Amino acid sequence: MTHTPDTAGELDARYSGKAARPTPWARARRELESAGVYWLSTVRPDGRPHVTPLIAVWRDGALHFCTGPEERKARNLADNPQCTLTTGTNDLNKGLDVVVEGRADRVGDEALLAGLADDFAAKYGEVWRFEVRDGAFHHEGGSALVFGVAPVTAFGFERGGAAAQTRWRFSATV
């Protein structure tokens, strides 16, 4: 199942320049595909937020990341799979930040995991090459669970020229 935007994107005029236009989803998706670092926000069992940087790949309409089963983010997602993934730039005058809200679903299909393992190695280098078995990634340091987050809602914050804040809403498709 993938998620596709219901609209071309809604511009929020309150936070956008007068000449701004909605950022096309295709541009935001390219940013999600090419970014090197992402920030995952989850919720701890006591309700406090937890944010951590990680790497991810875009495949089949979702961002995919991995984490050890004992890590805080994996334990948080076991209790509450709702999360946010963010990427962008620290430059105040140019760039596009993208925020993806969705549900982190565990990936166990070994054919999909094999493709994702290839994607990680292609994007981040052979040091990120994983072996796939038993529904998880494996490497020298142990095993890693893989999660996919298909957008339910996403936001784009474009800077430079006419600043624009765009929201995309998604619906599930089979």
86 SS3 class:
strand
Please check whether residue 65 is in contact with residue 147, taking contact to mean a CB–CB distance below 8 angstroms: yes
Q: Which residue range is the domain that position 78 belongs to?
A: 2-173
Neighbouring CB atoms inside 10 A of 48's CB total 8
Q: pTM for this structure? A: 0.92
Per 3-state DSSP, the chain is made up of helix, strand and coil in percentages (nearest 5) of: 20, 45, 30
Say how many residues make up the chain: 174
Look at the chain and report how many structural domains it folds into. 1
Query: Which CATH number covers residue 62?
Result: 2.30.110.10
**pLDDT tens digit string along 9-45?**
898 888 888 888 999 999 999 999 999 999 999 999 9
Closest CA to 147 of 102, 92, 88, 99: 102
**pLDDT tens digit string along 138-162?**
998 899 999 999 999 999 999 987 7
